[in-house]
A = this chain, B = another copy of it.
Amino acid sequence: MTVATGQCCAPIAREPLSETDAAELAVLLKAVADPVRLRLLSMIGSHSGGEACVCDLTDAFDLTAPTISHHLKVLRTAGLIDCERRGTWVYYWIIPAAVARLGALFTPLAEPATT
């Protein structure tokens, strides 16, 4: 990523993206450019406690467990969520910084992403 902290314009409209930056961002965006993954992300993020068990997620879809698992892996590989096994069940939660980074891409007057 080129240095772009606290600007007046959306980073995407500030200067032309390099080929590598664009490729990198496209990977991130592809991860969320899917109805199922969007809903998963939303369900995880809005779940009480900030985390959700896979068993809670699977029921909401008309998809098999392997498919849900696949989508969760895509989100996890993209760095948008993380998970932990606790006993029998696996819990997922959102990584806020990653989501915020997506938002900053398209948002004017980006706040300084304190990390």
Contact = CB atoms under 8 A, between A and B. Distances in A.
Given A94-B13, A107-B107, A23 B35 contact: yes
Contact of A19 (B39, B50, B102): B39
Q: How many interface residues does chain A have, given as a range?
A: 35 or more
Interface in A16-56: 16-17, 19, 22-23, 25-26, 29-30, 32-36, 38-39, 41-43, 45-46, 48-50
Label chain A's interface by main secondary structure. helix
Contact of A7 (B23, B25, B30, B94): B94
B50 A10 contact: no
Given A26-B35, A29-B38, A106-B103, A93 B5 contact: yes
B45 A10 contact: yes
